[in-house]
Protein backbone atom coordinates (compact mmCIF):
# COMPACT_ATOMS: atom_id res chain seq x y z
CA UNK A 1 0.00 0.00 0.00
CA UNK A 2 1.14 3.54 -0.65
CA UNK A 3 0.41 6.65 1.36
CA UNK A 4 1.49 10.16 0.41
CA UNK A 5 2.83 12.70 2.88
CA UNK A 6 2.69 16.20 1.45
CA UNK A 7 2.47 18.59 4.39
CA UNK A 8 4.50 19.40 7.44
CA UNK A 9 1.62 18.35 9.71
CA UNK A 10 1.55 14.95 8.06
CA UNK A 11 5.29 14.64 8.44
CA UNK A 12 4.95 15.25 12.16
CA UNK A 13 2.49 12.34 12.30
CA UNK A 14 4.92 10.05 10.50
CA UNK A 15 5.61 7.83 13.47
CA UNK A 16 1.94 7.16 14.20
CA UNK A 17 1.35 6.59 10.50
CA UNK A 18 4.22 4.14 10.24
CA UNK A 19 2.84 2.22 13.23
CA UNK A 20 -0.10 1.04 11.15
CA UNK A 21 1.54 0.86 7.74
CA UNK A 22 4.77 -0.84 8.68
CA UNK A 23 5.25 -2.37 5.24
CA UNK A 24 4.22 0.66 3.17
CA UNK A 25 6.38 2.92 1.10
CA UNK A 26 6.17 6.43 2.51
CA UNK A 27 6.64 8.96 -0.25
CA UNK A 28 7.86 12.40 0.73
CA UNK A 29 6.47 15.22 -1.38
CA UNK A 30 7.95 18.69 -1.38
CA UNK A 31 4.65 20.42 -2.21
CA UNK A 32 1.98 21.51 0.28
CA UNK A 33 -1.51 20.19 -0.60
CA UNK A 34 -2.80 23.52 -1.90
CA UNK A 35 0.18 23.79 -4.25
CA UNK A 36 0.05 20.17 -5.41
CA UNK A 37 -0.97 21.01 -8.99
CA UNK A 38 0.95 24.26 -9.19
CA UNK A 39 4.62 25.04 -9.25
CA UNK A 40 7.02 23.06 -7.04
CA UNK A 41 7.56 24.48 -3.60
CA UNK A 42 10.84 23.86 -1.82
CA UNK A 43 11.07 23.57 1.92
CA UNK A 44 14.31 24.55 3.57
CA UNK A 45 16.57 21.49 3.62
CA UNK A 46 17.79 22.22 7.12
CA UNK A 47 14.23 22.44 8.43
CA UNK A 48 13.28 19.15 6.76
CA UNK A 49 16.33 17.43 8.19
CA UNK A 50 15.67 18.77 11.70
CA UNK A 51 12.04 17.61 11.56
CA UNK A 52 12.90 14.06 10.66
CA UNK A 53 15.85 13.85 13.02
CA UNK A 54 13.64 15.06 15.85
CA UNK A 55 11.55 11.96 15.21
CA UNK A 56 14.59 9.72 15.46
CA UNK A 57 14.58 9.08 11.72
CA UNK A 58 18.02 10.19 10.63
CA UNK A 59 18.06 8.06 7.49
CA UNK A 60 14.60 9.31 6.56
CA UNK A 61 15.89 12.87 6.91
CA UNK A 62 18.64 12.15 4.43
CA UNK A 63 16.25 10.55 1.96
CA UNK A 64 13.74 13.36 2.37
CA UNK A 65 16.30 15.99 1.44
CA UNK A 66 17.41 13.89 -1.53
CA UNK A 67 13.77 13.69 -2.62
CA UNK A 68 13.36 17.45 -3.03
CA UNK A 69 14.47 17.35 -6.66
CA UNK A 70 11.94 14.63 -7.53
CA UNK A 71 8.41 15.06 -8.85
CA UNK A 72 5.24 14.21 -6.95
CA UNK A 73 4.53 10.85 -8.54
CA UNK A 74 4.95 8.24 -5.84
CA UNK A 75 6.59 5.94 -8.36
CA UNK A 76 9.34 8.54 -8.68
CA UNK A 77 9.54 9.55 -5.03
CA UNK A 78 12.01 8.05 -2.62
CA UNK A 79 10.73 4.96 -0.81
CA UNK A 80 11.24 5.20 2.92
CA UNK A 81 12.00 1.83 4.51
CA UNK A 82 9.69 0.62 7.25
CA UNK A 83 10.51 1.61 10.80
CA UNK A 84 10.79 -1.48 13.01
CA UNK A 85 8.49 -1.38 16.01
CA UNK A 86 9.45 -3.08 19.23
CA UNK A 87 5.97 -4.39 19.92
CA UNK A 88 5.35 -5.63 16.38
CA UNK A 89 3.05 -4.25 13.73
CA UNK A 90 -0.47 -5.24 12.68
CA UNK A 91 -0.97 -6.26 9.05
CA UNK A 92 -0.89 -3.43 6.55
CA UNK A 93 -4.20 -2.45 5.04
CA UNK A 94 -7.00 -0.82 6.97
CA UNK A 95 -5.94 0.65 10.31
CA UNK A 96 -8.00 -0.05 13.43
CA UNK A 97 -11.17 1.98 13.73
CA UNK A 98 -11.11 5.18 15.73
CA UNK A 99 -8.35 7.69 16.07
CA UNK A 100 -4.73 6.70 15.80
CA UNK A 101 -3.16 6.26 19.21
CA UNK A 102 -0.01 8.06 20.07
CA UNK A 103 2.96 5.79 19.58
CA UNK A 104 6.35 5.77 21.20
CA UNK A 105 9.20 4.51 19.09
CA UNK A 106 12.84 3.73 19.68
CA UNK A 107 15.33 5.81 17.81
CA UNK A 108 16.62 3.78 14.89
CA UNK A 109 18.96 4.32 11.99
CA UNK A 110 17.86 2.85 8.68
CA UNK A 111 20.02 2.23 5.63
CA UNK A 112 19.32 4.31 2.59
CA UNK A 113 18.51 2.63 -0.69
CA UNK A 114 21.79 3.90 -2.07
CA UNK A 115 23.75 2.49 0.85
CA UNK A 116 22.14 -0.85 1.63
CA UNK A 117 24.85 -1.94 3.97
CA UNK A 118 24.49 1.05 6.24
CA UNK A 119 23.85 0.83 9.95
CA UNK A 120 21.12 -1.62 10.89
CA UNK A 121 17.99 -0.89 12.89
CA UNK A 122 18.67 -1.35 16.58
CA UNK A 123 15.34 -3.07 17.25
CA UNK A 124 14.25 -6.03 15.09
CA UNK A 125 10.66 -6.79 14.20
CA UNK A 126 9.66 -9.89 16.17
CA UNK A 127 7.85 -12.66 14.31
CA UNK A 128 5.29 -15.08 15.70
CA UNK A 129 7.14 -18.12 14.33
CA UNK A 130 10.21 -17.99 12.09
CA UNK A 131 10.28 -19.97 8.86
CA UNK A 132 13.11 -22.44 8.51
CA UNK A 133 13.06 -23.63 4.90
CA UNK A 134 15.18 -26.57 3.76
CA UNK A 135 15.70 -27.58 0.15
CA UNK A 136 16.07 -31.32 -0.47
CA UNK A 137 17.45 -32.21 -3.90
CA UNK A 138 17.67 -35.52 -5.69
CA UNK A 139 21.46 -35.48 -6.00
CA UNK A 140 22.20 -35.32 -2.27
CA UNK A 141 20.10 -37.97 -0.56
CA UNK A 142 22.81 -39.70 1.49
CA UNK A 143 24.04 -38.56 4.89
CA UNK A 144 20.69 -37.03 5.83
CA UNK A 145 20.72 -35.63 9.39
CA UNK A 146 18.50 -37.08 12.09
CA UNK A 147 15.73 -35.20 13.87
CA UNK A 148 18.10 -33.71 16.42
CA UNK A 149 19.41 -31.61 13.51
CA UNK A 150 16.20 -31.17 11.51
CA UNK A 151 14.09 -30.04 14.48
CA UNK A 152 12.86 -26.53 13.81
CA UNK A 153 12.55 -26.92 10.05
CA UNK A 154 9.11 -25.66 9.02
CA UNK A 155 9.22 -26.23 5.24
CA UNK A 156 10.98 -28.85 3.13
CA UNK A 157 11.16 -28.07 -0.58
CA UNK A 158 11.85 -30.98 -2.94
CA UNK A 159 13.84 -29.94 -6.00
CA UNK A 160 12.93 -29.92 -8.87
CA UNK A 161 9.92 -30.44 -11.13
CA UNK A 162 10.62 -29.22 -14.67
CA UNK A 163 8.55 -26.19 -15.63
CA UNK A 164 7.76 -27.57 -19.10
CA UNK A 165 5.63 -30.29 -17.52
CA UNK A 166 3.04 -27.68 -16.59
CA UNK A 167 3.07 -25.64 -19.81
CA UNK A 168 1.62 -28.47 -21.91
CA UNK A 169 -1.92 -29.78 -22.30
CA UNK A 170 -2.35 -32.26 -20.79
CA UNK A 171 0.30 -31.70 -18.14
CA UNK A 172 3.32 -33.96 -18.04
CA UNK A 173 3.78 -36.49 -15.27
CA UNK A 174 6.00 -35.49 -12.35
CA UNK A 175 7.31 -38.11 -9.95
CA UNK A 176 9.16 -36.91 -6.83
CA UNK A 177 12.60 -38.47 -6.39
CA UNK A 178 11.47 -39.85 -3.03
CA UNK A 179 7.94 -40.74 -1.83
CA UNK A 180 6.51 -37.91 0.22
CA UNK A 181 5.66 -40.15 3.17
CA UNK A 182 9.36 -41.06 3.42
CA UNK A 183 10.34 -37.40 3.25
CA UNK A 184 7.86 -36.46 5.96
CA UNK A 185 9.30 -39.17 8.21
CA UNK A 186 12.64 -37.32 8.26
CA UNK A 187 11.11 -34.30 9.99
CA UNK A 188 8.87 -33.44 12.90
CA UNK A 189 5.11 -33.62 12.52
CA UNK A 190 3.66 -30.49 10.99
CA UNK A 191 6.60 -29.79 8.69
CA UNK A 192 5.26 -28.68 5.32
CA UNK A 193 6.55 -30.39 2.18
CA UNK A 194 6.64 -28.19 -0.91
CA UNK A 195 7.10 -28.88 -4.62
CA UNK A 196 9.79 -26.73 -6.26
CA UNK A 197 9.49 -25.97 -9.96
CA UNK A 198 12.44 -24.88 -12.07
CA UNK A 199 16.05 -24.55 -10.98
CA UNK A 200 19.11 -23.44 -12.93
CA UNK A 201 18.75 -23.97 -16.67
CA UNK A 202 14.97 -24.39 -16.62
CA UNK A 203 13.35 -21.36 -18.24
CA UNK A 204 11.42 -22.55 -21.30
CA UNK A 205 8.31 -23.84 -19.52
CA UNK A 206 8.06 -20.68 -17.43
CA UNK A 207 8.40 -18.42 -20.46
CA UNK A 208 5.65 -20.25 -22.34
CA UNK A 209 3.45 -20.59 -19.27
CA UNK A 210 3.64 -16.90 -18.40
CA UNK A 211 3.07 -15.51 -21.89
CA UNK A 212 -0.75 -15.10 -22.06
CA UNK A 213 -3.71 -15.09 -19.72
CA UNK A 214 -4.82 -18.47 -21.07
CA UNK A 215 -1.35 -20.01 -20.72
CA UNK A 216 -1.01 -18.65 -17.17
CA UNK A 217 -4.30 -20.16 -16.09
CA UNK A 218 -3.40 -23.49 -17.69
CA UNK A 219 0.06 -23.50 -16.10
CA UNK A 220 -1.37 -22.60 -12.70
CA UNK A 221 -4.06 -25.28 -12.87
CA UNK A 222 -1.54 -27.94 -13.91
CA UNK A 223 0.83 -26.98 -11.09
CA UNK A 224 -1.83 -27.03 -8.41
CA UNK A 225 -3.52 -30.19 -9.68
CA UNK A 226 -0.15 -31.97 -9.58
CA UNK A 227 0.74 -30.66 -6.13
CA UNK A 228 -2.64 -31.68 -4.71
CA UNK A 229 -2.57 -35.12 -6.34
CA UNK A 230 0.90 -35.86 -4.95
CA UNK A 231 0.06 -34.60 -1.45
CA UNK A 232 2.23 -31.48 -1.29
CA UNK A 233 1.44 -28.64 1.12
CA UNK A 234 2.93 -25.79 -0.90
CA UNK A 235 4.61 -24.76 -4.16
CA UNK A 236 7.92 -22.96 -4.75
CA UNK A 237 8.63 -21.17 -8.04
CA UNK A 238 12.36 -21.14 -8.81
CA UNK A 239 12.58 -19.41 -12.19
CA UNK A 240 16.23 -18.53 -12.87
CA UNK A 241 15.57 -15.92 -14.08
CA UNK A 242 12.49 -14.12 -15.40
CA UNK A 243 13.37 -11.50 -18.04
CA UNK A 244 16.84 -12.86 -18.68
CA UNK A 245 20.35 -13.71 -17.44
CA UNK A 246 19.49 -17.41 -17.14
CA UNK A 247 21.57 -20.29 -18.46
CA UNK A 248 20.22 -19.57 -21.96
CA UNK A 249 20.99 -15.84 -22.04
CA UNK A 250 23.39 -16.20 -24.97
CA UNK A 251 20.89 -18.22 -27.00
CA UNK A 252 17.86 -16.07 -26.10
CA UNK A 253 19.01 -12.48 -25.47
CA UNK A 254 17.50 -10.57 -22.58
CA UNK A 255 16.01 -8.14 -25.10
CA UNK A 256 13.70 -10.95 -26.23
CA UNK A 257 12.38 -11.49 -22.71
CA UNK A 258 11.37 -8.01 -21.58
CA UNK A 259 7.69 -8.99 -21.57
CA UNK A 260 8.44 -11.33 -18.67
CA UNK A 261 8.89 -8.32 -16.41
CA UNK A 262 5.12 -7.90 -16.64
CA UNK A 263 4.05 -11.54 -17.01
CA UNK A 264 6.07 -12.95 -14.09
CA UNK A 265 3.92 -11.45 -11.29
CA UNK A 266 0.80 -12.35 -13.30
CA UNK A 267 1.92 -15.99 -13.40
CA UNK A 268 2.56 -16.01 -9.66
CA UNK A 269 -0.84 -14.45 -9.03
CA UNK A 270 -2.54 -17.10 -11.18
CA UNK A 271 -0.83 -19.90 -9.25
CA UNK A 272 -1.69 -18.32 -5.91
CA UNK A 273 -5.35 -17.96 -6.91
CA UNK A 274 -5.51 -21.70 -7.58
CA UNK A 275 -3.62 -22.57 -4.39
CA UNK A 276 -6.02 -20.56 -2.23
CA UNK A 277 -8.77 -23.07 -2.96
CA UNK A 278 -6.67 -25.67 -1.14
CA UNK A 279 -5.23 -23.34 1.53
CA UNK A 280 -1.73 -23.98 0.19
CA UNK A 281 1.25 -21.62 0.28
CA UNK A 282 3.23 -20.16 -2.61
CA UNK A 283 6.87 -19.11 -2.36
CA UNK A 284 9.30 -17.71 -4.88
CA UNK A 285 13.08 -18.01 -5.06
CA UNK A 286 14.82 -14.84 -6.22
CA UNK A 287 18.37 -13.95 -7.34
CA UNK A 288 20.86 -12.47 -4.92
CA UNK A 289 22.74 -10.39 -7.50
CA UNK A 290 21.33 -7.07 -8.64
CA UNK A 291 22.34 -7.78 -12.23
CA UNK A 292 19.95 -10.75 -12.26
CA UNK A 293 16.99 -8.89 -10.68
CA UNK A 294 15.76 -7.76 -14.10
CA UNK A 295 12.13 -8.65 -13.42
CA UNK A 296 12.19 -7.22 -9.90
CA UNK A 297 11.46 -3.62 -10.77
CA UNK A 298 10.10 -0.94 -8.48
CA UNK A 299 6.71 -1.28 -10.17
CA UNK A 300 6.49 -5.08 -10.36
CA UNK A 301 8.11 -6.21 -7.10
CA UNK A 302 5.17 -5.12 -4.90
CA UNK A 303 2.94 -7.28 -7.14
CA UNK A 304 5.28 -10.24 -6.64
CA UNK A 305 5.27 -9.58 -2.91
CA UNK A 306 1.46 -9.57 -2.86
CA UNK A 307 1.24 -12.89 -4.73
CA UNK A 308 3.52 -14.96 -2.49
CA UNK A 309 3.55 -16.11 1.12
CA UNK A 310 7.31 -16.02 1.40
CA UNK A 311 10.27 -14.92 -0.66
CA UNK A 312 13.63 -16.73 -0.62
CA UNK A 313 16.67 -14.69 -1.63
CA UNK A 314 19.60 -16.69 -2.97
CA UNK A 315 22.24 -14.90 -0.96
CA UNK A 316 24.85 -17.30 -2.28
CA UNK A 317 26.58 -17.72 -5.65
CA UNK A 318 27.18 -13.97 -5.38
CA UNK A 319 30.36 -14.75 -7.30
CA UNK A 320 29.89 -17.09 -10.23
CA UNK A 321 31.36 -17.97 -13.60
CA UNK A 322 30.22 -14.68 -15.15
CA UNK A 323 32.68 -12.78 -12.98
CA UNK A 324 36.35 -12.17 -13.70
CA UNK A 325 37.46 -10.75 -10.35
CA UNK A 326 37.45 -12.75 -7.12
CA UNK A 327 34.88 -11.96 -4.44
CA UNK A 328 32.96 -13.87 -1.76
CA UNK A 329 30.07 -16.02 -2.90
CA UNK A 330 28.00 -15.67 0.30
CA UNK A 331 29.47 -13.00 2.55
CA UNK A 332 27.58 -11.05 5.19
CA UNK A 333 27.87 -7.70 3.43
CA UNK A 334 26.85 -9.02 0.02
CA UNK A 335 23.91 -10.86 1.57
CA UNK A 336 22.79 -7.74 3.43
CA UNK A 337 22.96 -5.69 0.24
CA UNK A 338 20.66 -8.18 -1.50
CA UNK A 339 18.14 -8.18 1.35
CA UNK A 340 18.12 -4.39 1.57
CA UNK A 341 17.60 -4.13 -2.18
CA UNK A 342 14.45 -6.25 -2.04
CA UNK A 343 13.11 -4.39 0.99
CA UNK A 344 13.63 -1.09 -0.83
CA UNK A 345 11.82 -2.52 -3.86
CA UNK A 346 8.77 -3.43 -1.80
CA UNK A 347 9.17 -6.92 -0.38
CA UNK A 348 7.92 -7.17 3.20
CA UNK A 349 10.83 -8.13 5.50
CA UNK A 350 8.58 -10.64 7.27
CA UNK A 351 8.16 -12.53 3.99
CA UNK A 352 11.87 -12.75 3.20
CA UNK A 353 13.96 -15.89 3.73
CA UNK A 354 17.71 -15.30 3.94
CA UNK A 355 19.54 -17.95 1.90
CA UNK A 356 22.41 -20.13 3.15
CA UNK A 357 24.62 -22.48 1.11
CA UNK A 358 26.17 -25.72 2.36
CA UNK A 359 29.06 -25.72 -0.10
CA UNK A 360 32.29 -23.95 -0.97
CA UNK A 361 33.01 -22.50 -4.39
CA UNK A 362 36.34 -22.35 -6.21
CA UNK A 363 37.59 -20.24 -9.10
CA UNK A 364 40.81 -20.52 -11.11
CA UNK A 365 42.80 -17.31 -10.75
CA UNK A 366 44.84 -15.81 -13.58
CA UNK A 367 48.16 -17.47 -14.28
CA UNK A 368 51.10 -15.69 -12.72
CA UNK A 369 48.98 -13.55 -10.40
CA UNK A 370 49.84 -13.73 -6.71
CA UNK A 371 46.40 -13.59 -5.05
CA UNK A 372 47.52 -13.25 -1.45
CA UNK A 373 44.86 -10.64 -0.64
CA UNK A 374 42.05 -12.96 -1.77
CA UNK A 375 39.53 -10.38 -2.95
CA UNK A 376 39.94 -8.48 -6.21
CA UNK A 377 42.17 -10.92 -8.08
CA UNK A 378 41.72 -11.55 -11.82
CA UNK A 379 40.48 -14.99 -12.84
CA UNK A 380 40.88 -17.16 -15.90
CA UNK A 381 37.96 -17.11 -18.35
CA UNK A 382 35.20 -18.87 -16.40
CA UNK A 383 32.42 -18.70 -19.00
CA UNK A 384 32.82 -19.13 -22.76
CA UNK A 385 31.45 -16.69 -25.32
CA UNK A 386 28.46 -18.97 -25.92
CA UNK A 387 27.56 -18.94 -22.22
CA UNK A 388 28.86 -22.41 -21.43
CA UNK A 389 31.04 -23.32 -18.47
CA UNK A 390 34.78 -23.44 -19.21
CA UNK A 391 35.32 -25.88 -16.33
CA UNK A 392 37.56 -23.46 -14.46
CA UNK A 393 35.22 -22.92 -11.52
CA UNK A 394 32.93 -25.09 -9.46
CA UNK A 395 31.61 -26.09 -6.05
CA UNK A 396 32.35 -28.69 -3.39
CA UNK A 397 29.78 -29.62 -0.74
CA UNK A 398 30.50 -30.26 2.93
CA UNK A 399 29.55 -33.92 2.60
CA UNK A 400 31.58 -36.55 4.45
CA UNK A 401 32.91 -38.06 1.22
CA UNK A 402 34.65 -34.80 0.27
CA UNK A 403 36.73 -34.86 3.47
CA UNK A 404 37.74 -38.51 3.30
CA UNK A 405 40.30 -40.38 1.25
CA UNK A 406 38.94 -42.36 -1.67
CA UNK A 407 37.94 -45.94 -0.80
CA UNK A 408 40.57 -48.56 -1.54
CA UNK A 409 38.06 -50.98 -3.06
CA UNK A 410 37.01 -48.90 -6.07
CA UNK A 411 35.54 -50.72 -9.05
CA UNK A 412 35.38 -49.53 -12.64
CA UNK A 413 32.21 -47.63 -13.43
CA UNK A 414 29.75 -49.16 -15.88
CA UNK A 415 27.35 -46.21 -16.03
CA UNK A 416 29.83 -43.28 -16.15
CA UNK A 417 29.22 -42.32 -12.51
CA UNK A 418 32.33 -41.74 -10.40
CA UNK A 419 33.86 -39.66 -7.66
CA UNK A 420 33.42 -38.80 -4.01
CA UNK A 421 30.51 -40.58 -2.42
CA UNK A 422 30.68 -43.50 -4.84
CA UNK A 423 32.78 -46.66 -5.07
CA UNK A 424 33.47 -46.15 -8.77
CA UNK A 425 36.54 -45.06 -10.70
CA UNK A 426 36.66 -44.31 -14.40
CA UNK A 427 37.88 -46.73 -17.08
CA UNK A 428 41.54 -46.44 -18.09
CA UNK A 429 42.25 -43.20 -19.95
CA UNK A 430 39.15 -41.43 -18.61
CA UNK A 431 38.78 -38.58 -16.16
CA UNK A 432 36.23 -38.14 -13.38
CA UNK A 433 34.75 -34.64 -13.66
CA UNK A 434 33.96 -32.42 -10.69
CA UNK A 435 30.31 -33.36 -11.22
CA UNK A 436 30.98 -37.11 -10.92
CA UNK A 437 30.91 -38.35 -14.51
CA UNK A 438 33.55 -40.22 -16.53
CA UNK A 439 34.80 -38.92 -19.86
CA UNK A 440 37.79 -37.74 -21.84
CA UNK A 441 36.82 -34.17 -22.75
CA UNK A 442 38.32 -30.98 -21.36
CA UNK A 443 35.22 -30.61 -19.20
CA UNK A 444 36.02 -33.97 -17.59
CA UNK A 445 39.80 -33.67 -17.44
CA UNK A 446 40.39 -29.98 -16.76
CA UNK A 447 40.57 -28.12 -13.47
CA UNK A 448 38.27 -29.57 -10.85
CA UNK A 449 38.62 -33.18 -11.96
CA UNK A 450 38.73 -35.79 -9.19
CA UNK A 451 42.19 -37.32 -9.40
CA UNK A 452 41.43 -40.19 -7.01
CA UNK A 453 38.86 -41.56 -9.43
CA UNK A 454 40.53 -41.10 -12.83
CA UNK A 455 43.28 -39.24 -14.61
CA UNK A 456 43.50 -35.45 -14.57
CA UNK A 457 45.03 -33.08 -17.10
CA UNK A 458 44.17 -30.09 -14.99
CA UNK A 459 44.59 -29.52 -11.27
CA UNK A 460 42.45 -31.65 -8.99
CA UNK A 461 40.36 -29.85 -6.38
CA UNK A 462 40.27 -32.92 -4.11
CA UNK A 463 43.33 -32.02 -2.03
CA UNK A 464 42.94 -28.26 -2.52
CA UNK A 465 39.50 -28.28 -0.89
CA UNK A 466 40.85 -29.90 2.28
CA UNK A 467 43.77 -27.47 2.35
CA UNK A 468 41.41 -24.51 2.01
CA UNK A 469 39.10 -25.64 4.80
CA UNK A 470 42.05 -26.25 7.13
CA UNK A 471 43.71 -22.89 6.40
CA UNK A 472 40.83 -20.56 5.61
CA UNK A 473 41.01 -16.86 6.38
CA UNK A 474 38.19 -14.61 7.54
CA UNK A 475 37.49 -11.29 5.87
CA UNK A 476 36.15 -9.46 8.91
CA UNK A 477 35.10 -6.41 6.90
CA UNK A 478 32.82 -8.17 4.44
CA UNK A 479 32.15 -11.24 6.54
CA UNK A 480 33.39 -14.02 4.29
CA UNK A 481 35.74 -17.00 4.54
CA UNK A 482 38.35 -17.51 1.82
CA UNK A 483 41.59 -19.20 0.85
CA UNK A 484 43.90 -18.94 -2.13
CA UNK A 485 45.75 -22.10 -3.12
CA UNK A 486 48.68 -21.23 -5.41
CA UNK A 487 48.90 -24.87 -6.51
CA UNK A 488 45.64 -24.51 -8.43
CA UNK A 489 45.74 -21.68 -8.54
CA UNK A 490 42.30 -21.69 -6.87
CA UNK A 491 40.39 -19.04 -4.95
CA UNK A 492 38.00 -20.67 -2.46
CA UNK A 493 35.01 -18.99 -0.79
CA UNK A 494 32.51 -20.38 1.74
CA UNK A 495 30.55 -19.86 4.97
CA UNK A 496 31.52 -20.87 8.51
CA UNK A 497 29.40 -21.39 11.66
CA UNK A 498 30.73 -18.11 13.07
CA UNK A 499 29.69 -16.24 9.93
CA UNK A 500 26.27 -17.91 10.03
CA UNK A 501 25.82 -16.52 13.54
CA UNK A 502 26.92 -13.10 12.34
CA UNK A 503 24.30 -13.22 9.57
CA UNK A 504 21.58 -13.86 12.12
CA UNK A 505 22.71 -10.83 14.10
CA UNK A 506 23.55 -8.45 11.25
CA UNK A 507 20.79 -9.38 8.82
CA UNK A 508 17.99 -11.52 10.26
CA UNK A 509 17.57 -9.64 13.52
CA UNK A 510 18.62 -6.24 12.22
CA UNK A 511 16.22 -6.25 9.28
CA UNK A 512 13.33 -8.17 10.81
CA UNK A 513 13.63 -10.93 8.23
CA UNK A 514 10.92 -13.58 8.61
CA UNK A 515 12.83 -16.73 7.73
CA UNK A 516 15.89 -18.54 6.45
CA UNK A 517 16.31 -21.01 3.59
CA UNK A 518 19.10 -23.55 3.07
CA UNK A 519 20.48 -25.32 0.00
CA UNK A 520 20.46 -28.21 0.60
CA UNK A 521 19.70 -30.92 3.18
CA UNK A 522 22.32 -33.56 2.32
CA UNK A 523 25.30 -31.25 1.79
CA UNK A 524 26.59 -30.79 5.35
CA UNK A 525 27.01 -34.40 6.45
CA UNK A 526 30.68 -34.14 7.48
CA UNK A 527 29.89 -32.60 10.86
CA UNK A 528 26.58 -30.72 10.37
CA UNK A 529 28.32 -27.64 11.78
CA UNK A 530 26.55 -25.17 9.49
CA UNK A 531 23.16 -26.78 10.06
CA UNK A 532 23.75 -26.69 13.82
CA UNK A 533 24.61 -22.99 13.63
CA UNK A 534 21.49 -22.26 11.57
CA UNK A 535 19.34 -24.28 13.96
CA UNK A 536 20.78 -22.32 16.91
CA UNK A 537 20.01 -19.06 15.13
CA UNK A 538 16.42 -20.10 14.56
CA UNK A 539 16.01 -21.12 18.21
CA UNK A 540 17.27 -17.71 19.33
CA UNK A 541 14.92 -15.83 16.99
CA UNK A 542 13.11 -12.88 18.62
CA UNK A 543 9.50 -13.93 19.15
CA UNK A 544 6.35 -11.88 19.54
CA UNK A 545 5.02 -11.96 23.07
pLDDT tens digit string along 429-451? 999 999 999 999 988 999 899 99
CA-only gyration radius of the chain, Å: 25
What is the rounded average pLDDT of the residues 93-116? 34
**Is residue 98 pLDDT above 50, yes or no?**
no
Regarding beta strands 431-432 and 155-161, do their DSSP bridges make them parallel or antiparallel, or are they unpaired?
unpaired
175 and 75 share a domain? no
Task: State the chain's mean pLDDT as an integer.
Answer: 83
- 370-391 pLDDT, tens digit per residue, is 999 999 999 999 999 999 999 9
Q: What are phi and psi of 376, to 5 degrees?
A: 90, 15
Distance CA(353)–CA(375), nearest Å, equals 27
**Is residue 457 pLDDT above 80, yes or no?**
yes
- Structural domain contains residue 368: no
Domain range enclosing 54? 2-80
Top mean pLDDT of 27-36, 92-101, 274-283 is at 274-283
State what percent of residues in the chain have pLDDT above 90: 74
Looking at residue 189, its pLDDT comes to 97
- Structural domain contains residue 280: yes
What is the rounded average pLDDT of the residues 10-31? 37
What is the rounded average pLDDT of the residues 114-134? 60
**Is residue 32 pLDDT above 70, yes or no?**
no
Residue 506: pLDDT band (50, 70, 90) is: very high
190 and 288 share a domain? yes
338 and 254 share a domain? yes
Helix (H, G, I), strand (E, B) or coil at 5: strand
Going from the C-alpha of 251 to that of each of 5, 163, 166, 393, 497, the distances in angstroms are: 47, 19, 23, 22, 40
Looking at residue 299, its pLDDT comes to 99
- Structural domain contains residue 164: yes
**Is residue 226 pLDDT above 70, yes or no?**
yes
- Structural domain contains residue 386: no
Distance CA(481)–CA(331), nearest Å, equals 8
Domain count, the chain: 2
Cβ–Cβ under 8 Å, residues 254 and 243:
yes
Beta bridge partners, 156, equal 134, 193
170 and 278 share a domain? yes
**How would you write 117-134 as a 3-class SS string?**
CCCCCCCCCCECCCEEEE
Cβ–Cβ under 8 Å, residues 31 and 71:
no
Q: Which of 117-121, 208-212, 364-368 has the lowest mean pLDDT?
A: 117-121
Beta bridge partners, 493, equal 361, 482
Domain boundary among 20, 53, 80: 80
Cβ–Cβ under 8 Å, residues 281 and 233:
yes
Amino acid sequence: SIRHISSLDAILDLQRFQRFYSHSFICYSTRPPQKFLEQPHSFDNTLVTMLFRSLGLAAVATLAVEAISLDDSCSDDVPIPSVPVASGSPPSGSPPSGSLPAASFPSVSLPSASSPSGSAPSVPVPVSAPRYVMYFDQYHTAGIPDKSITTGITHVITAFANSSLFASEPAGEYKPFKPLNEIRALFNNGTKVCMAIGGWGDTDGFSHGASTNASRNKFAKNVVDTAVKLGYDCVDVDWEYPAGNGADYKQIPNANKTQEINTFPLLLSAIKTQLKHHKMELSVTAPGLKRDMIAFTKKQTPKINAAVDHFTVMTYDLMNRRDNITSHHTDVKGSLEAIDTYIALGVEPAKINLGFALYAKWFTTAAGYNCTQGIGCPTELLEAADGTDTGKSGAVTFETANFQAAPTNLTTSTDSSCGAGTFYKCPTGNCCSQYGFCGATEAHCGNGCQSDYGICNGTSTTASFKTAIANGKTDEVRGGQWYWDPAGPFFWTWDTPALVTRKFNDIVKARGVGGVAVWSLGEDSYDFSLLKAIQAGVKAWPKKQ
